[in-house]
Structure 1
């Protein structure tokens, strides 16, 4: 990843305040060019060139990915349009096994001669790598599916919506925040369309169309007397949906708490109006008293804790130490899984991995190895029961097939193990968030994600958020600030007291989950209902030690 892209992605992960200019992910194109269509039959002809050339050079297995990656950014600040960017990245990645070892090459010159040369290069790399490899690659068996397709079940393609309509929305959001008392506001709409074609010597030719959307803003309010300021980021979640995501339905509204939220939609304008009021409240909110609290965590917050403390440590390559040099390993070592009784959390904790959930960021029909996606248990009744694997890892834990967790963020990058959607299952008994709060004597209700830190084994951690409300004797007593909670993964998930029912289940997620060397990013969702954790240590982040 280029340095400027890294800086942008880091900034966008914590808010929109750093977005003055948007980096280019590929070649700039006209907005209407994003609607052009490439016939799968033409792609099949090109992938067959690569498959045949690799086989002729000695490859025993080959897969080919043609990718067309489209991005659109619409960025505003207060009453100004800061940037509108449309980009396209188009090319082919060729992965082979020769002499028992992987080789990879990529190319953006999509003529037959160039493709054949790239395939030959991939085989040559594999043979050279094989000189250093002690054991051959073991691929889990995978049947070919022939010619198939999968399209995200969107209602409205965001790339078809006029730029003016998008600009008008963002400027109305900014105007509402400014009228509500904000001093500054940034807002952005970010759209992604991945058009992916996969072919392999297993006999699959898979055409997929993936869509993602992320609306977000940051509101800043300054106290003119003290010069101190507070911010409130949007409570939106990036989603695997079309433009319908930001057209809320009244039936999806979740009411009763301090923020208005929607189950499967997002009202950007309403969130901005409320955000302006809440950022003003944050300026005068009292600072938290450190101590033990029962935490009531909204899905807009809990998704990040799930991502870091469950999603990453159950990645099998991290468990095996492949990530140790860059982003750490995992405390969930194989011996804990083999024991079949490792107490990850209490019996309330059931966590599922899946690549199927409609509207999620990770939903696809097939992964980047041509494996049909599915759902499986990671944590069952509090016990570690499985990991996340791809084809060359499956045999390590005795699986007969891959779980479909392979992904590359671009045609030019080699695919490897990436996180599926990882979600906490809702409670079975009827329970709403405000009913949950009625039974809390001393607690804190947390909404939105914030800063966090976690150790190299994904065990000891600290998380903050966007909004914090003190709970006293079963009632919300008012806003507080300077809150972060500390725990370790096992202790935290064993403190899970109760989980709201399916009606409160919502998705959060990350557009830019980083991993690997060279670094790649992926998009992944994490679902939950509002969840209570008892006796968690809370610190005051404003107080100096």
Structure 2
């Protein structure tokens, strides 16, 4: 059964849930409540076994249980004022079953023995109702039980434990530093998430995970008072799977980029970046407007990550390839016949792209996915050739495989898990090459940093991408800032134009903190790693000045 049909047929269960007092975005709590210990894993195991036994007693042949506590803290400021401080918590259980060869799902915020027993029985009833319209039974790839295991994001400093005052002080310092350097407007924010997730299944897994993510960001705007126009620059930070050490590390792993200022790997100097953003915003006002034409592009990782996300990550989601996401987010040009051919040139021989939820510090880093599958790395594109997709336990049979890729995810205990994008990353070059050395070999090009506006078609093929900062390259040197830059291409043409990739010393992450997919829509967080990369002969357009 297609996932959208499953969601539709499960409507009676979801409708019942809508009246049970669930708060999908979380209940407001104090900052102190975020630090209260969650339920002990032993107590969770007792409750999980109640669900597994109740579902089995009603005829389920497979059951998984997810007990989740989701904590969120957001702090935002503008200029010299605090705009918002929010703390939220949501806690509950989601139960998924197979009965009569068909999926059923139910969830409840009543995390008690009686509440969980009732929820499990409801999930089985939904599965049996759905089975009347099921054409083929669900077939799961085998997964050996992992027993009782734990996995934690290897943080050094829990961001939830840092006093809110310290976070406000940092953000206001960011704002003041930008305004002291001549910008008119600035806002800054800090987003912190802690997911305490427990998974149990009839395969014999009892997995307790504690996952942390953090995202510091800002936007500054300089005003041209004489002409009445303005220019802005956003933070060049990447959201990360880390604790507050991301901000406390004082960016010890800085990388000097070819434009002459610092970028950051696994720590981030927010104040330094804000000062740079203020200077860049003012410089952008008088920067030369690009002349349209063909250019060699040198793309920084904090820009290229979004292009990877849209032109590789999404089109290689198997459910999108099969048309399951057509109603919400489109399909994919990377159809199964291209993969079956064994020689579809997605990119040049230099392009090696992997999916990997085990990368340290990444947003997708976790030990096990939401189906209890141990996470791993696998090839999507190897030496430019399409070799695989992203698939989960009930999909891999379509590819003739018998092992899940381990990329199932649900954004809440109240959401059903389905295939979500893992970290999708471009492997660094094997030969020693720095970004500065790469630029020296470019006669006519543009160096691009930061995420900008973009557009891509429903099959993830034809696209246009902008950025935050653009620098003209002439005869191997950066000669000045450009504005109004966007590049146009199609996915296959673009990746086949890849001619050079810097080595591992330049490798860093771009991240998407809120990536939407599915109906009902869910949001996930995913990173994309790469080194600075060159693409030859790409069409650059002028987007038109607004000052």
Class of the TM-score when normalised by the shorter of the 2 chains: over 0.9
- Distance in 2 between the 1:543 and 1:466 partners? 14
Q: Is the 8 A contact 1:24 1:85 kept in 2?
A: no
Match of 1:246 in 2: 247
Pick the aligned partner of 2:346 from 344, 347, 353. 344
Q: Give 1:3-152 correspondences, 5 Å limit.
A: 25-37=25-37, 38-152=39-153
Q: Give 1:451-530 correspondences, 5 Å limit.
A: 451-530=453-532
Match of 1:426 in 2: 428
- Distance in 1 between the 2:194 and 2:317 partners? 26
Q: How many residues align?
A: 522
Q: Please, which runs of 5 or more residues in structure 2 have no aligned partner?
A: 1-22
Deviation of the 1:250 alpha carbon: 5.7
Deviation of the 1:43 alpha carbon: 0.8
Give CA-to-partner distance per residue, 1:130-177, whole Å, 9 cap, x none.
111100000000111111100011111000111111111000000000
Secondary structure of 2:249's match?
coil
Greater Cα offset, 134-143 or 259-268: 259-268
Give CA-to-partner distance per residue, 1:193-222, whole Å, 9 cap, x none.
000000001110000000000000000111
- Distance in 1 between the 2:244 and 2:479 partners? 37
Deviation of the 1:33 alpha carbon: 1.4
Match of 2:157 in 1: 156
Match of 2:186 in 1: 185
- Distance in 2 between the 1:276 and 1:326 partners? 38
Match of 2:8 in 1: none
Deviation of the 1:249 alpha carbon: 4.8
Deviation of the 1:112 alpha carbon: 1.2
TM-score, normalized by length of structure 1? 0.95
Q: Is the 8 A contact 1:248 1:262 kept in 2?
A: no
Moved beyond 4 Å, runs of 4+: none
TM-score, normalized by length of structure 2? 0.94
Match of 1:312 in 2: 314
Secondary structure of 1:252's match?
coil
Give CA-to-partner distance per residue, 1:326-374, whole Å, 9 cap, x none.
1011111111111111000110000010010010000110000000000
Deviation of the 1:257 alpha carbon: 2.8
Match of 2:15 in 1: none
- Distance in 2 between the 1:357 and 1:28 partners? 32
Deviation of the 1:543 alpha carbon: 6.9
Match of 1:362 in 2: 364
Match of 2:198 in 1: 197
- Distance in 2 between the 1:346 and 1:24 partners? 44
Q: Say whether 1:280 aligns with 2:268.
A: no
Secondary structure of 1:465's match?
coil
Q: Is the 8 A contact 1:217 1:234 kept in 2?
A: yes
Q: Is the 8 A contact 1:389 1:403 kept in 2?
A: yes
- Distance in 1 between the 2:463 and 2:365 partners? 28
Q: Please, which runs of 5 or more residues in structure 1 have no aligned partner?
A: 1-22
Q: Is the 8 A contact 2:24 2:414 kept in 1?
A: no
Secondary structure of 1:168's match?
helix
Q: Say whether 1:265 aligns with 2:267.
A: yes
- Distance in 2 between the 1:294 and 1:256 partners? 17
Match of 1:3 in 2: none
Change (3 A) 1:374 1:424: same
Q: Is the 8 A contact 1:24 1:87 kept in 2?
A: no
Match of 1:382 in 2: 384
Q: Say whether 1:228 aligns with 2:229.
A: yes
Deviation of the 1:247 alpha carbon: 2.2
Secondary structure of 1:238's match?
coil
- Distance in 2 between the 1:77 and 1:89 partners? 28
- Distance in 2 between the 1:537 and 1:123 partners? 55
Change (3 A) 1:367 1:224: same
Q: Give 1:523-538 correspondences, 5 Å limit.
A: 523-538=525-540
- Distance in 1 between the 2:203 and 2:240 partners? 32
Q: Is the 8 A contact 1:485 1:539 kept in 2?
A: yes
Q: Is the 8 A contact 1:426 1:500 kept in 2?
A: yes
- Distance in 2 between the 1:381 and 1:316 partners? 21
Secondary structure of 2:415's match?
coil
Secondary structure of 1:279's match?
helix
- Distance in 1 between the 2:240 and 2:419 partners? 21
Q: Is the 8 A contact 2:65 2:94 kept in 1?
A: yes
Match of 2:404 in 1: 402
- Distance in 1 between the 2:137 and 2:36 partners? 42
Q: Is the 8 A contact 2:251 2:269 kept in 1?
A: no
- Distance in 2 between the 1:427 and 1:352 partners? 14
- Distance in 1 between the 2:128 and 2:475 partners? 68
Match of 1:15 in 2: none
Deviation of the 1:251 alpha carbon: 4.2
Secondary structure of 1:67's match?
strand
- Distance in 2 between the 1:353 and 1:495 partners? 22
Match of 1:412 in 2: 414
Match of 1:219 in 2: 220
Q: Is the 8 A contact 1:365 1:372 kept in 2?
A: yes
- Distance in 1 between the 2:176 and 2:481 partners? 25
The alignment yields a C-alpha RMSD, in angstroms, of: 1.2
Q: Say whether 1:166 aligns with 2:164.
A: no
Change (3 A) 1:256 1:524: closer
Q: Say whether 1:542 aligns with 2:537.
A: no
- Distance in 1 between the 2:53 and 2:42 partners? 17
- Distance in 1 between the 2:231 and 2:45 partners? 54
